[in-house]
Chains A and B, each alone.
Chain A
Amino acid sequence: AQKITQTQPGMFVQEKEAVTLDCTYDTSDPSYGLFWYKQPSSGEMIFLIYQGSYDQQNATEGRYSLNFQKARKSANLVISASQLGDSAMYFCAMREPLNYGGSQGNLIFGKGTKLSVKP
């Protein structure tokens, strides 16, 4: 079964410092996608970054980068130069392989990490 694990319920980081949010996944399928979403207190889920299982390089989007270690089945999110506005819940998600149990590539979410940025 597909599974996403986020072991850090909460994290604190000082403004302007970098922070790493952990995510491990479990799948036996060679083709999968990994996502990170940000959920501020307003509730909407904001897409941050995507990594495909066959991508050779780690994904980057501005201050966000994904530290993809395939052998360890980890996909940690690194936020550089933290800002106060980065305070939010962060969710790691994995796309189910197509046709898995009739799935069309649905997302499986971890339980999230609450990041608090201190001024």
Chain B
Amino acid sequence: DGGITQSPKYLFRKEGQNVTLSCEQNLNHDAMYWYRQDPGQGLRLIYYSQIVNDFQKGDIAEGYSVSREKKESFPLTVTSAQKNPTAFYLCASSIPGGETQYFGPGTRLLVL
């Protein structure tokens, strides 16, 4: 079955620690996205990538980093510079400029 997978489902971060969230898709989509969702809020764009080896900052990129070495994979690193990382993180993919983004199941990040 084609789809988007995210792992882990829950992730715990200690103070000063970098953590990486995984996002993999087998939909053959070129574009991939990372969103952050806080309680009672909509989604806010962190980073997006329209093609391999290229990515752009979204609205709230500070404290995050990404890479796009393979078409299927778009990992997100939450760095120690992100002072309020507790949130639900969603990855999505689409064809570039496509009409619909399809989402993974999400990763919930908690700070210890």
Using CB atoms and an 8 Å cutoff, list the residues of chain A in contact with chain B. Answer: 4, 33, 35, 37, 42-47, 50, 52, 91, 93, 95, 98, 102, 104-107, 109-112
Chain B 53-112 interface residues, beta-carbon cutoff 8 Å to A:
56, 58, 88, 90, 92, 96-106, 108
| A45-B4 Cα distance, complex, nearest whole Å | 11
Which of A4, A33, A35, A44 is B106 in contact with, Cβ under 8 Å? A44
Which of B41, B48, B104, B108 is A111 in contact with, Cβ under 8 Å? B41
Tally the A-B contacts, defined by beta carbons under 8 Å.
59
- Among B33, B98, B101, B108, max chain A CB count under 10 A is at B101
A interface SS class? strand
Contacts of B41 in A (CB 8 A): 111-112
Contacts of B96 in A (CB 8 A): 104
Interface: B25 (CB within 8 A): no
Contacts of A46 in B (CB 8 A): 103
| A47-B102 Cα distance, complex, nearest whole Å | 7
**B98-A105 in contact (CB<8A):** yes
Which of A44, A102, A110, A112 is B103 in contact with, Cβ under 8 Å? A44
With CB as the reference atom, state the residue of chain B lying closest to A33. B99
**B43-A43 in contact (CB<8A):** no
| A47-B58 Cα distance, complex, nearest whole Å | 21
Interface: B21 (CB within 8 A): no
